Structure 1
Amino acid sequence: MKRIATPALALAAFALTAPAFAGGYSEPVVEQPVITPAPVMPVAGTDWTGGYVGATIGYGWGDNALDGADDMTYGVYGGYDYDFGNFVLGGELEYNATEMEEGDNSLDNLTRLKLRAGYDMGPALVYGVVGAAYGEADINGASYNDTGYVYGLGVDYAVSDNMTVGAELLQNEFDEFDNSGEDLSATTLGARVSFRF
């Protein structure tokens, strides 16, 4: 009887555990994390509309009555721009003192009233300049002052909402400077820092 009971118990135990082996082994399902792409934010353009003030330092060299004169220039300026989208139009008043001299001839200072027109490239503004220039100079030891014209190119770059850095290359022309019998020309290249409001 013991011989029959042992196999019968083993068979009963197997029958009870058989459902656990049904279907065989299967890999557990692991849910993959859902990755959503970061939202695409539109690149905000720079709005150049508003007033600004700043300072400039640079270098100048002369021609005609100032032939051979070259040295430092430095000054202050203020203006206002209006951004029409891709086109920016503005005006600026600038005062520059200069150390340009050669012998008895020197350019003491320049005051410029400039019209700026440029292309809005986002954080950069590339522009052209035309306007009037007023200069005070010594020619052959005598003091003169006169009004001429200025033209050139410039670029500003916005480093923050309220601060820009830039550069301007300007040509200043005075024909028959204050009836002195001499033409006077000066080229200036200046680095600029502006605070916008």
Structure 2
Amino acid sequence: MKGFASLAAAAAVLTAFSAQTFAADLPQPVDPAPAYPVSPDTISGFDWTGPYAGAQLGWGWGSFTTRSTPTGKFDNDANGVLGGFYGGYNFMVTPNILAGLEGTFDFTNLNDRTSVGGINYKTGSDWNSTVRGRLGYAFDTFLIYGTGGLAIADLDVNASGNKDSTTAIGWTLGAGVETALSQHVTMRLDYAYENFGKESFNLGGTTYKTDLDNNVVRAGVAYKF
């Protein structure tokens, strides 16, 4: 009996040691990653309401249609880089419907020369501005919108050394897409058509009537306050 008891005790010790060794070989639980506070600039439930201001760069192309007695009717086209600033205010009418008011100002380079009936004629527009309403639909951080309103631009003409200029007033319609990069920074891409109607110029005693149709595509980045 003493031999049997000794054998049982030895088996118990061996079993306990084996169990401890096996447990040490098992994969140990990994400590959870430390939790860091969420940055206040992280996008979560983006709210488009509020004022904003930004800068934009794009491309414009315009068509000048001119009529006069010595030249008849003729067209000349111009295109070039444009850039400027924009700003406005958005208001969320519903959780998805946005209404807003926006103003833009761009420096342009829409200048072209042509010769008609022996007369050297130059047309140009070096800046334009708009005041527009916006109506859009927001998918949280993504916005699609239409826009329209007042367009203003300078219009310069030169015929055989005689110059005249005016500030033309017209209308504009367009559309665009915009996305929020953070709670304060947004980026957009838009297109606008601008029509400035017909303007009359007196060049050396001859009346020239010129109208301008303009198209612009712009990309912009704004800060939402």
What's the TM-score bracket when you normalise by the shorter of the two chains?
0.7 to 0.9
Is the counterpart of residue 149 in structure 1 residue 158 in structure 2?
no
1:104-119 residue pairs with structure 2 within 5 A?
104-119=122-137
Would you tell me which structure has more strand in proportion to its own residues?
2
Is the counterpart of residue 12 in structure 1 residue 5 in structure 2?
no
Answer with 13-22 or 152-161: which moved more: 13-22
Task: Kindly state the Cα deviation for residue 177 of structure 1 after the two structures are TM-superposed.
Answer: 3.0
Task: Kindly state the Cα deviation for residue 181 of structure 1 after the two structures are TM-superposed.
Answer: 2.6
Is the counterpart of residue 192 in structure 1 residue 210 in structure 2?
no
Identity of aligned residues (%): 31
Task: In structure 1, list runs of 5 or more residues that go unmatched.
Answer: 1-10, 37-42
Q: Which amino acid aligns with 1:76?
A: F
Superposed CA offset, 1:31-71 (max 9, x none)? 9969x9xxxxxx82211000011111111111133732111
Count of matched residue pairs:
181
Note closer, same or farther for the CA distance 1:121–1:67 as it changes in structure 2 (3 Å cut).
Answer: farther
**Aligned counterpart in structure 2 of residue 183 of structure 1, from 199, 208, 211:** 211
1:1-197 residue pairs with structure 2 within 5 A?
11-15=1-5, 17-18=7-8, 44-65=44-65, 67-83=76-92, 84-103=94-113, 104-140=122-158, 141-177=163-199, 181-197=209-225
Note closer, same or farther for the CA distance 1:80–1:175 as it changes in structure 2 (3 Å cut).
Answer: same
Q: Which amino acid aligns with 2:99?
A: L
The answer to whether the Cα contact below 8 Å between 1:145 and 1:177 also exists between their aligned partners in 2 is: no
Task: In structure 2, list runs of 5 or more residues that go unmatched.
Answer: 33-42, 66-74, 114-121, 202-207
Task: Kindly state the Cα deviation for residue 17 of structure 1 after the two structures are TM-superposed.
Answer: 4.1
Q: Which amino acid aligns with 1:69?
A: A
Q: Which amino acid aligns with 1:165?
A: M
Higher CA-based Rg: 1
For 1:145 and 1:21, how far apart are their aligned partners in 2? Answer: 105
- TM-score for the superposition, normalised by structure 2: 0.69
For 1:156 and 1:67, how far apart are their aligned partners in 2? Answer: 34
| Partner SS state of residue 67, structure 1 | strand
Give 1:4's aligned residue.
Answer: none
Q: Which amino acid aligns with 1:127?
A: Y
For 2:200 and 2:126, how far apart are their aligned partners in 1? Answer: 15
- TM-score for the superposition, normalised by structure 1: 0.78
Q: Which amino acid aligns with 2:182?
A: S
| Partner SS state of residue 68, structure 1 | strand
